[in-house]
Chains A and B, each alone.
Chain A
Amino acid sequence: MCVWCERYAEGYERWYFNPANYARKLYRIRKEEAAGLEPGPQAAGGMSLLTRDFLEALDRNDHEAIAKVKHDVEQLSWTAHFGQVVTLEDVLKVIDTIYPIAIMTCACRRSMLGLADEENFTCIGMGSGMYKWERWPETYRGGIQFLTPDEAKDIVTKLNKRGLVQTLATFGTPYLGGICNCDYPDCSFIRTTLDYNVRVLWKGHHVARVDTELCSGCASCIHRCQFKALSFSPSQNKAYIDSFQCFGCGLCVSECPQDAITLVERASLPALADAW
Chain B
Amino acid sequence: MLPTITVDDKKCTDPLSCHKCLRICPTHVLGLATKVGPQKFREMDPSQFIVAGVRFEKCTGCMDCVSVCPKSAIQVSF
Contacts and interface: CB of A to CB of B under 8 A. Distances in A.
Does A pair with B?
yes
Contact of B60 (A240, A243, A274): A243
Nearest to A244: B58
Contacts of B26: 209-210, 241, 243
Interface in A212-243: 212, 240-243
Interface residues of B, number: 14
A263 interface: no
Interface residues of A, number: 15
Contacts of B3: 270-271
Nearest to A268: B62
Contacts of A112: none
Given A207-B60, A271-B59, A243 B78 contact: no
B27 A212 contact: no
Contacts of A242: 27, 58
Task: Tell me if B's interface is mostly helix, strand, loop or mixed.
Answer: loop
A269 interface: yes
A269 B23 contact: no
B58 A269 contact: no
A271 B78 contact: yes
B23 A271 contact: no
B27 A269 contact: no
Contacts of B2: 271
24 contacts: A207-B60, A209-B62, A210-B26, A212-B23, A212-B24, A241-B26, A242-B27, A242-B58, A243-B27, A243-B58, A244-B60, A264-B62, A269-B60, A269-B62, A270-B1, A270-B61, A271-B1, A271-B3, A271-B59, A271-B60, A271-B61, A271-B78, A272-B60, A274-B1
Given A240-B28, A244-B60, A269-B61, 12 more contacts: A207-B60, A210-B26, A242-B27, A243-B58, A243-B60, A264-B62, A269-B60, A270-B60, A270-B61, A270-B78, A271-B61, A274-B1
What are the 8 tightest A-B residue pairs by CB atom distance, in nearest-first order? Answer: A270-B61, A269-B60, A270-B78, A271-B61, A243-B60, A271-B60, A271-B1, A269-B61
Interface of A: 207, 209-210, 212, 240-244, 264, 269-272, 274
